[in-house]
Structure 1
Amino acid sequence: MLTLYFAPHTCALSVLIALKWLDVPHKVEKVKLGDPEYRKLAPLGMVPAMTDEHGKLMTQAAALLKYLVNKYPAAKLGGDGTLDGNYVLDEKLAFLTGDFHPAFWPFFSPKRFTVKEDEASIAAIKSASHIRIDRVMLELDRQLGNNAYLLGQQRSIADAYAFAMARWADYLPKTISHYPNAQRFMQAMQEDEGVQAALKHEA
C-alpha cells in the first residue's frame, strides 16, 4: 500500500488529492517538517514523501504526481499521450515547481534569505515577495484563461498541484479574488469530492 507523508498547508496536499481522485488504497501519515524522527525516513525533513508497496522512499511533489500518472494510466490524470500533450503537462509542472512554488519561499521562510534577524529586515523580505507572488499568480490566471483546468477541459495532476499552492495567496494583501480565472478554478476545485476528502486531513 502507498503511504503518503503529509503536513497540513503544504504542497503535499497535491499528492493527497491525486490519491483521492485515483481512489486507490493508501495511508496518510501526518508529520512535522524537520522533525528528527521523520528525518530518519526523509533526510531533508520535507513533504511530500511517499513509500510504495515495498517500502521504497520517493520524494518531490511533481515526481510523485508523475509516478501516480504512470502507475495508474487508466485514470487519465496526465497528458493525452501525444508528444505535444505530454510536453504541455510537463511545462505546467515545471512552472509550478520552478516558478510558482519558489515565489512563496521568501514570504513563508524569510529567514532563509538573510543573516539578519531584526524585525524590519524580515518584514522587508516578506514585503518584497509580494511582487514575485503577484507575477506568478497573474501567469497562473493567464494560463487558465476560460478553461476549467490547466490542460483545458481535462482534469490532471497539474490542477491538484496548482490548487494546493494557489490557496496560499489568501495570506497576502492581494488575495485570490484579484485573479478571476484562478478564483473560478479554486472555487470549482473546492467543490470536488476528492479535494474535499483530501482537505479533511487538514481539519
Structure 2
Amino acid sequence: MQLYHMRGACSLADLIVLGWLGVPHEIVPMTLDSIKAPAYLKLNPGGNVPLLVHGDLALTENVAILGYLADLHPHAQLAGDGSPRGRAEVMRWLAFLNSDVHKAFKPLFAPERFLDGRDLDEQLAANARRHVRAYLERLDGALADRDWLTGQRSIADPYLYVVLRWAQAKGVDMSDLHALAAFHERMSRDPAVRDALRAEEA
C-alpha cells in the first residue's frame, strides 16, 4: 500500500489512520511540482494529494480513502460502531470537515486565485479567517462534553487535527476554543500522530 503525501496537506489524516490501524505502507513524498508531473497525473488527474495505491486500485479524495481504510479494518470501528447511525455520525462530521471547513481555507492558501491585489488579498484573508473561526466554534461545541467528534475515535478526528494545524499556521484566533485546544493536545500526544509528523520531516 502506497500513500502519496505532501507535507502540510490533508493527507496527514490518512497517515494518522494508517498508524492507528498498524497497516504496513510506503509514503511517497510529493511536492507542488511532482503532483503536476505527467506520470502522476496518469494516476491522479486531479493533480493533488492524497492518492492511495492498493494493488490495482488508485484511490483519490480524502473522504474516500479514509472510508476505505476504515472498511478494510472494521474491527477498529473507525467508521462508527457498526450501526447505520454510528457510520452516519462519522460521515456527517467527515463531510463537514471536507466540504465546508477545508474549503474555507482556500483563500488563505492561495488568495491570488480569487483576487488580484495585495489590499484585496488581505481583506479576503480576514474574511476567510472569520469563516473558519465560525466553523471552529461549531466544532468546539461538539467537543464540549466528549473527547472525540462522535464520542469514539473515528476517521473524522485526524481530519479535524489537520484543519486545526492549518488554523494555527494561518493565524485564526482560537484563544477561547478550549475544547478544541484540549483535543489538539490529546492528538499531539498520540503515538501514531507523532509518527506521522516525524514521517513528514523525513
TM normalised by structure 1 equals 0.92
CA RMSD of aligned residues (A): 1.4
In the other structure, the counterpart of 1:109 is: 110
| 1:1-203 aligned within 5 A | 2-33=1-32, 34-37=35-38, 38-54=40-56, 56-114=57-115, 116=116, 118-152=117-151, 154-203=152-201
Letter of the structure 2 residue corresponding to residue 182 of structure 1: L
Q: C-alpha offsets along residues 19-52 of structure 1, whole Å, 9 cap, x if unaligned?
A: 0111111100000134324323322211111101
Q: What are the ranges of 5 or more consecutive residues in structure 1 without an aligned counterpart?
A: none
Q: C-alpha separation between the residues in 1 aligned to 2:99 and 2:172?
A: 22
3-state SS, counterpart of residue 178 of structure 1: coil
Q: C-alpha offsets along residues 125-160 of structure 1, whole Å, 9 cap, x if unaligned?
A: 1121111011111111111112111111x2111111
Moved more, 38-47 or 179-188: 38-47
3-state SS, counterpart of residue 25 of structure 1: coil
Q: C-alpha offsets along residues 141-191 of structure 1, whole Å, 9 cap, x if unaligned?
A: 111112111111x21111111111111111244444431100000000000
Native 8 Å contact 2:133 2:174 kept in 1: no
Q: C-alpha separation between the residues in 2 aligned to 1:57 and 1:174?
A: 35
Q: C-alpha separation between the residues in 2 aligned to 1:80 and 1:113?
A: 41
Q: What are the ranges of 5 or more consecutive residues in structure 2 without an aligned counterpart?
A: none
Aligned residues: 198
TM normalised by structure 2 equals 0.92
Native 8 Å contact 1:10 1:165 kept in 2: no
